[in-house]
Chains A and B, each alone.
Chain A
Amino acid sequence: MPEPLLSLRGVETRIGRYHILHGVAFDVAEGGLTMLLGRNGAGKTTTLRTIMGLWRAAAGEIRFAGRDITRLATPDIARLGIAYVPESMAIFADLTVQENLILAARAGPPDAKRLDWIFGRFEALKRFWALPAGNLSGGQKQMLAVARAIIEPRRLLLIDEPTKGLAPAIIANMIAAFAELKDGQSTLLVVEQNFAFAQQLGDSVAVMDDGKVAHTGTMAAFAADTALQQHLLGLGMGEHQ
């Protein structure tokens, strides 16, 4: 079995006096899309932030592409080829759409072909190219946040709730974009509440409960096991939005 692209072992994270992660452990295989699921407050967002170095792991180990990144600073983690889309999107409202993407492209001016592909998926970004990003609607901001993460090829994308509050048409575009990214060289780790969306895209799952990973496996197997879903995600996950 090849070494996973990303692996977490025994990761503990504390925020102030709160102990949030209690020994999180799971792997993300290269080239696939792993869904990180769980109830609200299970620790999904904290896990992504800890991988990104935005919270410090108090214990445990995080390895990326064969390298220990547990103690690296956030910019250095990003420079290894990890992009992050936070739940709040964190777009720069004062900067235009163009300027947001210029910053996201570290290597130089954004590549024209890649930009065309992004415009194909997220047409609104082209339309509002020169407008302050603060003027965009919620869905358009989400597109920009994702576009920022994929403006240059990255090995691993960490995406926190990409479908939150999006219209179905945009979700379809998002699904298509993620599928294309997967076909390219990117690996994705996506936090999701929308189980329909998760089921369509996910290759494998890691399900968190109370600061730990309670289940890992293939998406197909998890989707079939309604009892396990019930147990880990609670009732009515299908409608959960």
Chain B
Amino acid sequence: MSLLRAALSDDLPRSRWLAIALVLVVLGLALAPFAFPGAKSLNVAAKICVFIVLAASFDLLLGYTGIVSFAHTMFFGIGAYGVAIALTRMGGEWSAVAVGLVAGLVVAIVLAALIGLFSLRVRTIFFAMITLAVASAFLILASQLPQLTGGEDGLNYRLPAVLRPSFALADGTFLGVRLNGRLVDYYLVYVVSFALVLLLLRIVNSPFGSVLMAIRENPFRAEAIGYRTVVYRTIASCIAAAVAALAGALLALWSSQTNPDTTLSFDIMVDILLMVVIGGMGTIYGAVLGATVLLFAQNYLQDLLGIASQAFAGVPLLANLFHPDRWLLWLGVAFILCVYFFPSGIVGSLRSSSGPRASLSARDASGPKDLKS
């Protein structure tokens, strides 16, 4: 028990239901290849792992530091393209993975530091706008450099031998599942993701994390006490960028193809935003649940909507409203409702049985509006 407590950096779920949900996710993902055999479900499980890391790193910014960046997918993409480009150029070797990983991390951290120092000294809104502009420019850049990035089509490459489907870990099957490179790949993604989430938990529960939250509550006060808010926020966005790049690298290692749509697009950014807010900002656990729920919805809510749509087949607008492709509409509505009524998302709702928690509105309410110039 104390080992578990240490692994979670003393940041326990503090709610039976939340604990159960988390255990379900962790165990479900651990057993996914055997419990839910099939290429599609394995793919969904791996993506859940990757997006948990990505969303958790975004939560470090949004929930813990109180800044909104629309450039988070850019760092995700940098990590993915780093590995993808290296694997394409150098062939399917681990040395290529290492080179790509390091290059991606360096680029991501340097870029995050530049953007942070440049624009974090001003206001939340300004930063959000600038990151949106930079991210859109980067997306265009990626499609404008086909020699390097493969343009719109992206890159297809060979993974290191151990991760290829043709690699056999052992002869035959275990519980009806072939023990091949895909399985190795999946558990690589799973273990690294698990470790990264624990790392993020460690960071947000460290003294550094407390300073971030103090800055989020009241930047002027934190500055007055002597914390250089720009420096702390910039470091936080560098860490978030680095973790996002690692998540990107995991995605590149999983899917053996990397393109703008799956790594850089604004759609992915919207997904992360939904995951963190619906899951619960400022909790890390929220990212875990949010990513799981959203990817489930993305892959399975469509089927449900299809049924509803058929029920309304005769009614023109209603049928469209429940069209399987409109799943984002419903999640968008859920997102808005979350921001208004459940600022701490699913995690907050699960925890609320164990006493009310500080809501976002309480901590976000801006300080005194002063007439003095």
Give yes or no for direct A-B contact (beta carbon below 8 Å).
yes
Please give the number of chain B residues whose Cβ is less than 8 angstroms from any Cβ of chain A in the complex: 5
A54 to B367: give the CA distance in the assembly, Å: 14
A38 at interface, CB cutoff 8 A? no
Please give the number of chain A residues whose Cβ is less than 8 angstroms from any Cβ of chain B in the complex: 8
Q: Digit string of B339-373 for contact with A (CB within 8 Å is 1, else 0)?
A: 00000000000000000000000000001100111
Contact residues in B for A90 (Cβ distance below 8 Å): 371, 373
Contact residues in A for B367 (Cβ distance below 8 Å): 16
A88 to B368: give the CA distance in the assembly, Å: 16
Closest partner residue, chain B, to A52 (CB atom): B371
- The smallest beta-carbon distance between B364 and chain A, in angstroms, is 13
Query: Which residues 210-228 of A sit at the B interface, judged by CB distance below 8 A?
Result: none
A49 at interface, CB cutoff 8 A? yes
A49 to B371: give the CA distance in the assembly, Å: 10
- 13 CB < 8 A contacts A-B: A15-B368, A16-B367, A16-B368, A49-B371, A54-B371, A86-B371, A86-B372, A87-B372, A88-B371, A88-B372, A88-B373, A90-B371, A90-B373
A49 to B368: give the CA distance in the assembly, Å: 13
- The smallest beta-carbon distance between A132 and chain B, in angstroms, is 16
Of all A-B residue pairs in the complex, the 4 with the closest CB atoms, nearest first, are A15-B368, A88-B372, A88-B373, A16-B368
- The smallest beta-carbon distance between A51 and chain B, in angstroms, is 14
- The smallest beta-carbon distance between B191 and chain A, in angstroms, is 45
Contact residues in A for B368 (Cβ distance below 8 Å): 15-16
Q: Told that A86-B372, A90-B373 touch, could you supply 11 new A-B pairs with CB distance under 8 A?
A: A15-B368, A16-B367, A16-B368, A49-B371, A54-B371, A86-B371, A87-B372, A88-B371, A88-B372, A88-B373, A90-B371
Query: Which residues 280-331 of B sit at the A interface, judged by CB distance below 8 A?
Result: none
Interface of B, secondary structure class, is loop
A90 to B368: give the CA distance in the assembly, Å: 17
A86 to B373: give the CA distance in the assembly, Å: 11
Contact residues in B for A16 (Cβ distance below 8 Å): 367-368
A16 to B367: give the CA distance in the assembly, Å: 6
- The smallest beta-carbon distance between B225 and chain A, in angstroms, is 15
A87 to B373: give the CA distance in the assembly, Å: 10
Contact residues in A for B372 (Cβ distance below 8 Å): 86-88
- The smallest beta-carbon distance between A120 and chain B, in angstroms, is 29
- The smallest beta-carbon distance between B217 and chain A, in angstroms, is 10
Interface centre among B368, B371, B373 (most CB of A within 10 A): B371
Q: Digit string of A61-91 for contact with B (CB within 8 Å is 1, else 0)?
A: 0000000000000000000000000111010
A54 to B370: give the CA distance in the assembly, Å: 10
A87 to B367: give the CA distance in the assembly, Å: 20
Closest partner residue, chain B, to A160 (CB atom): B371
Contact residues in B for A87 (Cβ distance below 8 Å): 372
- The smallest beta-carbon distance between A140 and chain B, in angstroms, is 16
Q: Digit string of A138-161 for contact with B (CB within 8 Å is 1, else 0)?
A: 000000000000000000000000
A15 to B372: give the CA distance in the assembly, Å: 14
Closest partner residue, chain B, to A87 (CB atom): B372
Closest partner residue, chain A, to B371 (CB atom): A86
Query: Which residues 1-44 of A sit at the B interface, judged by CB distance below 8 A?
Result: 15-16
Q: Digit string of A105-134 for contact with B (CB within 8 Å is 1, else 0)?
A: 000000000000000000000000000000
Closest partner residue, chain A, to B369 (CB atom): A54
- The smallest beta-carbon distance between B365 and chain A, in angstroms, is 8
Contact residues in B for A49 (Cβ distance below 8 Å): 371
- The smallest beta-carbon distance between A164 and chain B, in angstroms, is 12
Contact residues in B for A15 (Cβ distance below 8 Å): 368
Closest partner residue, chain A, to B367 (CB atom): A16
Closest partner residue, chain A, to B373 (CB atom): A88
A16 to B364: give the CA distance in the assembly, Å: 12
- The smallest beta-carbon distance between B219 and chain A, in angstroms, is 13
